[in-house]
Structure 1
């Protein structure tokens, strides 16, 4: 049976811009793999969605049957987070982001922030996000941290493929050099900078052909004016939008691609030029720094007309440079992925099971960053000190393992509180988080002022046969325990007993949370109690380590260690998020959203009632009326000395 998918885009799906061409090629590749795909184009204005656009997206989503797989292009959803959120529990939604809407050139600070926030809220409702470059993935993570809007969904990078193409002929001796620019006429693409740079070149030895639709009328007039002002009508031609055959002819006649963009989410035309063996003269704007391989072209700072003019002049005047860059482009051509491979990667991103990332159990870097300061203030210093005292009796150097290390927050807290020398192994299943964690901990020092040693290990937390785990003196973890099963706890305790290891488990949720007033007194509300019970039930689903114990896990761990004769010390470590405290409000809003998402997933028939609760509680937190207390406990388990 074919897999079915609907792709929703803003406007006409047949538009010939990089983003729409990406979408079209992915659709073609998926159909070749047996997918049944419907492409839906939305009426209305985007990205600043008008009433027509809003209704069009609502209608398109409402028309999908329950459980349907739907990919929404970022241009179509970024300004409509509430519409997207209204269908997130009913449909299997994926966001496709080419570049953040707020990064478009020419936006004022207020519009930029408005679009960033709106798009992040839309993406935060999705279990899966696909981006088209590593740069955009990094940029999205930075924005999520900057705006304190954590993204719980898995982010997959699926870079564009490229169609096989014949190599364009090299220029003949005495032949004018033909420069090709393929980009829509909008300020971000920088054709005005290009014309100014070309005006400084010696006339006669080159010509420049620009292909791309006039998406911005005022900017198009400006570029045409600059061409006329500099008397370049015989050297620079704006051909407008063209079909694929005309563009292929242009590639075959060209000797280099010029892309003067201020910013690109990927820059597909760069790889298209390389597929033809063409050198590329471009900028370092956005993902272009990554997209152009070294030795295949020249790069300048975006918007720097002088640098661009110098690069163009060098290319036109230096035959040896042109030969070297052409050889670099031909070498890069051999490494390009095709659209079939991109389609297979896209299909994997759609069908892989997304991680469960409800509040209190999510591993997204933005969520971990959001909670770190509150975690640090809540943890038990007493138990950390006791762990340090116990370690100091064990050896002259200490081996420690951090399970589910995330971005390294646990090590950041413990290193300076424990004796040294310390050698840490940071274990997590997420390679991106491991990379961030390693970078954060390499400069940490122990309680005696010595630099710690740390390495990372990408491994499932279900494994206890890791050599680093067997050799550790102290095993640690933070905010992990609610995800695990009784069987996992029994295996961990047995491992610690077998190796005479200590265990320090911090910030384990107890399954208790409640809203508090300005005087820190609990607020009793039956709707809160109802959502809490739904959340507790959701916590006990399998998160990849067996049927999760949720808030019961801490007590189970304490009982298991006590049963084998370990010394067990516990401490209450609740989050106290004060009403009206600005620094706490982003975390409280994220908690409410996470609890509501978990409740809706467990009780989809009650989605409307849960939505009402979510809106009311968010408003109460935003107004400073309510704060939140979330129950946590820390645990230290140490083997008793023999005799």
Structure 2
């Protein structure tokens, strides 16, 4: 079955998680697939962007098409037109309003566009059970195809050697952004990896760490800088909190530089306010690195638990009064913790327990190593979507709503 994958045409030097997902999906698709890059200011396309995409879709013939939701959800009229010709799938990496951090009237406008686009599609696919449930709550969309991200094989991270790991890698890192004074080489090393945007919630992590200045640690804040002014604001927050000598700002990392950073990392902190999955979480686990993530996002699921599965002990539905998910509240070891990042004291408490507690560090590391051996690859992801699309060919009334 030949298919086409339509993706946003963006800078390959600073890929988002959705960009990586799309690339891996195409690379592991079981049959013939062509990738078409849609130029445009997604998710805020111009009229010219819409015209170009319309021409692209009209020239694809009758083979199934999968469209990245960042593109599809902003142009419902084009999804409707495509679905009249061929099996059309919308792949939701993040809802438009949540992913962009839109609020008020702007969020309502994006939600209305997305609802219309998703209802027009023959299939809607997303990356976590949490996200599928969220689409149901937001838009009344049922029958969402669940295609969790795979993970590329990765070497085991030795860590800094200061947090129970066997390594002793240099922790200085690159210094491409101003406002840096290198992290402490002998201290446990934390990493947060993602675009420097308000949605990724770096400020909450900095505030939490300000309560830990009595302890040794270093933090690397790595990722693309879409807004230079906002990045400067974050650097200023770190400086005002007295953390300038603890935090490294290397900008976007890839290749050898990224692998070197992973190799010296002891803990990934991912306080993002909105995640359908959080591929960086499983990328950390693939290296044996535990993670701390935000409650109420798909990153909980990436941590290794199903937030909507109530059938067994591995669900999130057990009562948790203080909003904290970790081995102390669940009674079972997991590869880190999920915390309410709007409560900096809770994040500070969890990070202090990890920094000062050898048993906690050992338990989290052990759970991450165990999970490392159970993570699926991208071939499984591609096969799930391929099979769902194959079943839809020949007539579909679209997802139920």
CA contact (8 A) 1:127 1:354 kept: no
Which of 91, 104, 109 pairs up with 1:109? Answer: 104
Which of 35, 40, 64 pairs up with 1:39? Answer: 35
Which of 139, 142, 158 pairs up with 1:144? Answer: 139
Name the larger-Rg structure.
Answer: 1
Q: Distance in 2 between matches of 1:76 and 1:300?
A: 32
Pairwise mapping of residues 7-86 of structure 1 onto structure 2 (< 5 A)? 7-12=5-10, 14=12, 15-30=14-29, 33=30, 35-65=31-61, 67-86=62-81
Q: Distance in 2 between matches of 1:270 and 1:303?
A: 19
Pairwise mapping of residues 435-450 of structure 1 onto structure 2 (< 5 A)? none
Equivalent position SS for 1:87: helix
Q: Distance in 1 between matches of 2:286 and 2:243?
A: 29
TM-score (norm 1): 0.52
- Aligned residue for 1:573? none
CA contact (8 A) 1:13 1:41 kept: no
Q: Distance in 2 between matches of 1:172 and 1:196?
A: 26
Q: Compute the RMSD of aligned alpha carbons.
A: 2.1
Which of 169, 172, 177 pairs up with 2:158? Answer: 169
Runs of 4 or more consecutive aligned structure 1 residues displaced over 4 Å after TM superposition: 354-358
Q: Distance in 1 between matches of 2:157 and 2:254?
A: 19
Which of 122, 126, 147 pairs up with 2:121? Answer: 126
Shift of 1:93: 1.4
List gaps (5 residues or longer) in structure 1.
146-150, 367-643
Q: Distance in 2 between matches of 1:194 and 1:7?
A: 36
Equivalent position SS for 1:184: coil
CA contact (8 A) 1:29 1:340 kept: yes
Which of 321, 327, 345 pairs up with 1:306? Answer: 345
List gaps (5 residues or longer) in structure 2.
164-185, 305-332
Pairwise mapping of residues 442-521 of structure 1 onto structure 2 (< 5 A)? none
Q: Distance in 1 between matches of 2:273 and 2:111?
A: 18
Which of 238, 243, 246 pairs up with 2:254? Answer: 243
Which of 104, 120, 144 pairs up with 1:155? Answer: 144
TM-score (norm 2): 0.82
Which of 366, 369, 383 pairs up with 1:330? Answer: 369
Equivalent position SS for 1:96: strand
CA deviations over 1:116-165 (Å, ceiling 9, x no partner): 121111111111111111111111111223xxxxx58x521000000111
Shift of 1:62: 1.7
- Structure 1 pair 265/170, CA: closer, same or farther in 2 (3 Å)? same
- Aligned residue for 1:4? 2
- Aligned residue for 1:193? 204
Q: Distance in 1 between matches of 2:395 and 2:3?
A: 22
Larger RCO of the pair (alpha carbons < 8 Å, separation 6+): 2
CA deviations over 1:532-562 (Å, ceiling 9, x no partner): xxxxxxxxxxxxxxxxxxxxxxxxxxxxxxx
- Structure 1 pair 37/312, CA: closer, same or farther in 2 (3 Å)? same
CA contact (8 A) 1:128 1:354 kept: no
Shift of 1:106: 3.7
Segment of structure 1 superposing worse, 192-201 or 258-267: 192-201
Equivalenced residues, count: 350
Pairwise mapping of residues 568-587 of structure 1 onto structure 2 (< 5 A)? none
CA contact (8 A) 1:178 1:254 kept: yes
Q: Distance in 2 between matches of 1:188 and 1:49?
A: 21
CA deviations over 1:271-290 (Å, ceiling 9, x no partner): 01111111111211321222
Q: Distance in 2 between matches of 1:119 and 1:354?
A: 23
CA contact (8 A) 1:164 1:275 kept: yes
- Structure 1 pair 13/172, CA: closer, same or farther in 2 (3 Å)? closer
- Structure 1 pair 328/39, CA: closer, same or farther in 2 (3 Å)? same
Whichever structure has more helix as a proportion of its residues is 1
CA deviations over 1:550-607 (Å, ceiling 9, x no partner): xxxxxxxxxxxxxxxxxxxxxxxxxxxxxxxxxxxxxxxxxxxxxxxxxxxxxxxxxx
Whichever structure has more strand as a proportion of its residues is 1
- Structure 1 pair 207/82, CA: closer, same or farther in 2 (3 Å)? same
CA contact (8 A) 1:132 1:158 kept: yes
Shift of 1:102: 2.1
